[in-house]
Amino acid sequence: MIINGVTIDETFAEAFPMKGTRLIITALNAKWAMISAQAFTGFATSVIACGCEAGIERELDPSETPDGRPGVSILIFAMGGKGLAKQVETRAGQCVLTSPTSALFSGLESETEMALGQNLRYFGDGFQISKMIDGKRYWRIPVMDGEFLTQEKTGVQASVGGGNFLVLAESQAQALAACEAAIVEMKKIPNVIMPFPGGVVRSGSKVGSKFKALNASTNDAFCPTLKGQTKSDLSPEVESVMEIVIDGLTKEDIDKAMRVGIQAVCDLGAENGIRRISAGNYGGKLGPFHFHLQEIMA
C-alpha cells in the first residue's frame, strides 16, 4: 500500500493488555490545573521503568468539570490493577495534593473501582471531612491553601497499551516534523494518550537483550547508523526513524488514533522526505492486540 508516495508496510503493531483510568484535575485556573497534571504525568513514559504510562488527554472547559473550574483530563495505565492503584495514589499524593488550589476527581465510570483519595484522606490527620454527593464519596482534606477536594474512588477498566507506528524519513528533521503533525491530529481523539515526550519516541525498543538484566533493548533493525552492522530493516535513503506509541481505553480508540496519525504523516508525503510507515512487530512475543497498518488505512 502506498499513500502519497509513502509505503505502508504489510505488518502490524503489537500491543498488550493494561488497566487504565481517567482522572480529572481542576484548579483555580487552567495554568495551575495544567501544572498539576504535568507533574502527575511526569516520568510516566513506559512501564518498562516508570511503573505506569500516563499522559494528558486534553484540557477541560469549566463546564466539563465536576466543580466548574478549569481542568485537565489525564489517562494513566499500568500492567495490573494493583500497580495502577499504587501509581495513582503516590502521584496524586505527591503531585496533585501538593499543587496549589487543585482538586482531583474520577473521570471514568466503571463497575470496577480503585482508591483515589481513599487513602490520601489520612493526610488530614483526623480533620478530613467526608461528603457523599450524588452517591459518590468525596474527601475534604484541610491543607495550607484551603481544602483539597478529592473523590474517594475512580473507575478502572481493561485497556490496551503499546499501539504504535514508525515513521521512516530521509532526515531527522523530516521525521520529527511528520511526528509532530501526527500528534496534533491524534490529540483530537478521545480516550488515548501518547505517553512519550511530546508524544514521540526516538529510542524504540525490541523485546529482550543480549544483557540478561535487561528485558528490552534498542530496536537495532530500525537504527539507521547500524545499517551495515545488523540485519537492518532500513533502505539506504532512510536516515531517521521515530515512533509514536499509543495507549488507549479500548482497541478501537487506538485504531482511530493510528489512522489519523498515519494519515497526517502521509499527507506530508514523499516530497517531504517520508518514505515508509512501519510498526513495532515482535513476532507475537509482546502482546495479543495486533494493529495491522494496511487494514487500519484501508
Partner 1 sequence: MSSLIFTLNTSVKQRIDCSPLTSDLLADKSVADIAAIELVVGNAIERVDALFDITGDDASDIKFVNSTDKLDFVGRNMTSGKLTVEGNVGGYLGLFLDGGEIEVTGNTGIYTACEMKSGQIKVNGNAGDFVGGVRPGYRNGMTGGTVIVTGNTGARTGDHMRRGMILIEGNAGDYCGARMISGTIAVLGGVGAHLGYAMKRGTLLLMQAPAQGISANFNDCGSHTLAFLPLLFNSFAKLESKFASVESFSRVQRYAGDVAGIGMGEILVKI
The residue ranges that bind partner 1 (CB under 8 A) are 66-69, 103, 126-127, 129-134, 138, 140, 146-147, 149
Nearer to partner 1, 45 or 150 (CB): 150
Please identify which residue in the block is written with the cell numbers 481542568.
Answer: 71
C-alpha dist (Å) from residue 28 to 37, 266, 292: 13, 41, 44
For the chain, the C-alpha Rg in angstroms (whole number) is 21
Minimum gap (Å) between residue 120 Cβ and partner 1: 15
**Shortest Cβ distance from residue 61 to partner 1 (Å)?**
15
User: How far is the C-alpha of 101 from the C-alpha of 36, rounded, in Å?
Assistant: 10
Task: Indicate the residue among 64 and 170 with the shorter CB distance to partner 1.
Answer: 64
| CB closer to partner 1, 87 vs 128 | 128
Min CB(26)–partner 1 separation in Å: 8
CB of 132 to partner 1, least distance (A): 6
Instruction: Name the residue nearer to partner 1 (CB basis): 126 or 236.
Output: 126
Question: DSSP letter at 282?
Answer: -
The three-point CA angle 293-297-298 to 5° equals 115
Q: Find the shortest distance in angstroms from Cβ 107 to partner 1.
A: 14
Question: What's the gap between Cα 69 and its chain centre?
Answer: 24
- If the CB atoms of residues 134 and 271 are measured against partner 1, the closer one turns out to be 134
Task: List strand residue ranges (DSSP E) for 209-259, in order.
Answer: 216-218, 240-248
Q: How far is the CB of 156 from partner 1 (least distance, A)?
A: 22
Dump the DSSP string for 105-156.
Answer: EE----SSEEESSTTGGGGGTT--EEEEETTEEEEEEEETTEEEEEESEEE-
DSSP state of 94: I
Q: Measured between alpha carbons, how far is 152 from 56 in angstroms, rounded to an integer? A: 21
Nearer to partner 1, 82 or 131 (CB): 131
